[in-house]
């Protein structure tokens, strides 16, 4: 077999891996006040939102991200009525929250109004009618400022942010999670993504350690997201509720009582396995890691480049 290895694009450059999508069509390409925004169409993934060069969400597999992000927290809260979403400008998390008939108000605090406008236009299969639902309240602004100022208390808080650099960097710190805990009701549950334990192990470990420095119960679960081409992780944090406690019977009952339909990822018999951690994750979380603070926030760049 001829020696073809040398022609492969191996390099010792950091980020010497990646995955790509062919751009079959450019639907939107612009720079908002905060970030570069691109929406492409790819024959396999459908319409795809890319912010500052990072894949955010695609029509093909958005449920592999939004359901594991939102549903465990919503299912484990006894009566989620007032819900807050920080970030989530594509509307996917909002659409998942509104599936629960118990929800009376869903407040979305998204920094970049342009992301919402672009998502309404090109990601309709993801946001559906969530933005125009009578229960939805959209606030365009910084999620951290909102959480630090609000007098409201929320049953469930979904943190659906870009990776920890740029505009979201200060929303992965102990001080921010403290403010989120203060904005939660006494039995409030928080949900967030916590990066890839495989490709950003340090970032994953720092986020979990930082959550544990604020919340009594922190549970982690995994999911594979094709759009990110890696195993992704999600966490639930609460000072009262251990999200893992839910069983398939409860989930079936809740879906019936709350009129939750259209789930593509969670089936009751599947749900409990979703909370198993791999050995790699367990060993990773046994390692020391700093707590991300305002003075010394998590720097995803250093972590990913260190791979």
Residues near ligand SAM (CB under 6 A): 56-57, 65, 86-90, 109-112, 115, 142-144, 160-163, 167-168, 171, 193
SS3 content of the chain, % helix, strand, coil (to 5): 35, 25, 40
The residues facing 36 across adjacent strands are 31
Q: Quick check: 217 and 237 in contact, CB under 8 A?
A: yes
Is 155 among the catalytic positions? Answer: no
Shortest gap between Cβ of 150 and ligand SAM (angstroms)? 13
**b (16+ CB within 10 A) / e for 194-231:** bbbbbbbbbbbbbbbbbbbebbebbbbbbbebebbebb
Instruction: Calculate Rg over the CA atoms of the chain.
Output: 19
Q: Quick check: 291 and 211 in contact, CB under 8 A?
A: no
Shortest gap between Cβ of 127 and ligand SAM (angstroms)? 11
**b (16+ CB within 10 A) / e for 137-156:** ebeeebbbebbeebeeebbb
- Backbone torsions φ then ψ of 217, nearest 5 degrees: -110, 120
Q: Quick check: 217 and 181 in contact, CB under 8 A?
A: no
Q: How far is it between the farthest Cα atoms of the chain?
A: 69
Residue 139 or 263 with smaller CB distance to ligand SAM: 139
Which is the catalytic residue, given 160, 242, 294, 296?
160
Residue 39 or 243 with smaller CB distance to ligand SAM: 39
Q: Quick check: 149 and 126 in contact, CB under 8 A?
A: no
Handedness of CA 103, 91, 63, 17 (dihedral sign): negative
Residue 155 or 163 with smaller CB distance to ligand SAM: 163
Q: Quick check: 189 and 73 in contact, CB under 8 A?
A: yes
Residue 167 or 297 with smaller CB distance to ligand SAM: 167
Residue 37 or 74 with smaller CB distance to ligand SAM: 37
Shortest gap between Cβ of 292 and ligand SAM (angstroms)? 15
Q: How far apart are CA 106 and CA 156, in angstroms?
A: 10
Shortest gap between Cβ of 124 and ligand SAM (angstroms)? 15
Shortest gap between Cβ of 240 and ligand SAM (angstroms)? 26
Kindly list the catalytic residues. 160
């Amino acid at each position: 077999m001829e020696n073809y290895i040398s022609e492969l694009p191996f390099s010792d450059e950091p980020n010497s891996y990646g995955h790509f999508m062919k751009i079959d069509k450019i639907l939107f390409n612009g720079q908002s006040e905060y970030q570069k925004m691109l929406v492409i169409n790819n024959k396999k993934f459908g319409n795809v939102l890319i912010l500052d060069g990072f894949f955010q969400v695609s029509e093909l597999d958005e449920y592999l991200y939004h359901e594991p992000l939102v549903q465990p927290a919503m299912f484990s809260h006894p009566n989620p009525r007032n819900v807050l979403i920080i970030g989530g400008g594509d509307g996917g998390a909002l659409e998942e929250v509104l599936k629960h008939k118990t929800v009376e108000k869903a407040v979305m605090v998204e920094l970049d109004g342009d992301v919402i406008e672009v998502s309404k236009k090109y990601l309709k299969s993801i946001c559906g009618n969530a933005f125009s639902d009578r229960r939805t309240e959209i606030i365009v602004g910084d999620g951290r400022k909102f959480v630090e100022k609000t007098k409201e208390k929320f049953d469930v808080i979904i943190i659906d942010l870009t990776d920890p650099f740029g505009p979201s960097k200060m929303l992965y710190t102990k001080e921010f999670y403290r403010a989120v805990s203060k904005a939660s009701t006494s039995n409030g549950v928080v949900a967030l993504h916590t990066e890839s334990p495989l490709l950003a192990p340090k970032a994953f470990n720092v986020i979990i350690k930082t959550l544990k420095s604020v919340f009594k119960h922190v549970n982690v679960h995994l999911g594979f997201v094709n759009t990110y081409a890696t195993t992704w992780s999600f966490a639930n944090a609460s000072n009262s509720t251990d999200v893992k406690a839910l069983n398939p019977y409860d989930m079936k009952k809740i879906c019936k009582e709350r009129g939750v339909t259209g789930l593509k990822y969670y089936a009751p018999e599947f749900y409990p396995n979703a909370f198993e951690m791999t050995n790699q994750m367990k060993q990773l979380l046994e390692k020391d890691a700093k707590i991300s603070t305002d003075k010394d926030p998590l720097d995803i760049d250093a972590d990913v480049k260190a791979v």
